[in-house]
Amino acid sequence: MRSRFLALRVRPANRNIPRGSDGSLPECWLLAEWPPGKPAPTDYWLSTLPADTKLRDLVRLAKIRWRIEHDYRELKDGLGLDHFEGRSWLGWHRHVTLAAVAQAICTQLRRTPKAPAQA
């Protein structure tokens, strides 16, 4: 899949955003994705990354959200993160730790090339 991206430095206006000592709003990136065949951009992101960040890095970090959501769903559904029914902090901590270790092992197995079959 290919898309066009636009990145602009903007100052989002909101009364809850802390202002600088001179009263100005802080600059941030506005990233817009415009997929081919669409009449207008479809996705937008605001980012507080530094002003010298390259467009390629902005896009990569914005699109990594899918990977994070996939990993969380795998943790919850496939590895039982949401199956804890205990009542103690220690028990919950152990459960989450084991689920995180299982997730790390699954990720490592996905990244490791398949070993050649032995004859």
Residues 29-39: tens digit of each pLDDT:
999 999 999 99
Q: How far apart are the first and last CA of the chain?
A: 40
For residue 118, pLDDT beyond 70: no
Residue 33 is predicted with a pLDDT of 94
Long-range contacts of 10-17 (CB under 8 A, 24+ apart): 10/46, 12/46
pLDDT of residue 71: 86
* DSSP SS3 for 81: helix
* Amino acid in position 80: G
Query: Quick one: pLDDT at residue 115?
Result: 63
Domain positions in the chain: 4-63, 66-111
- Position 53 confidence tier, pLDDT thresholds 50, 70, 90: very high
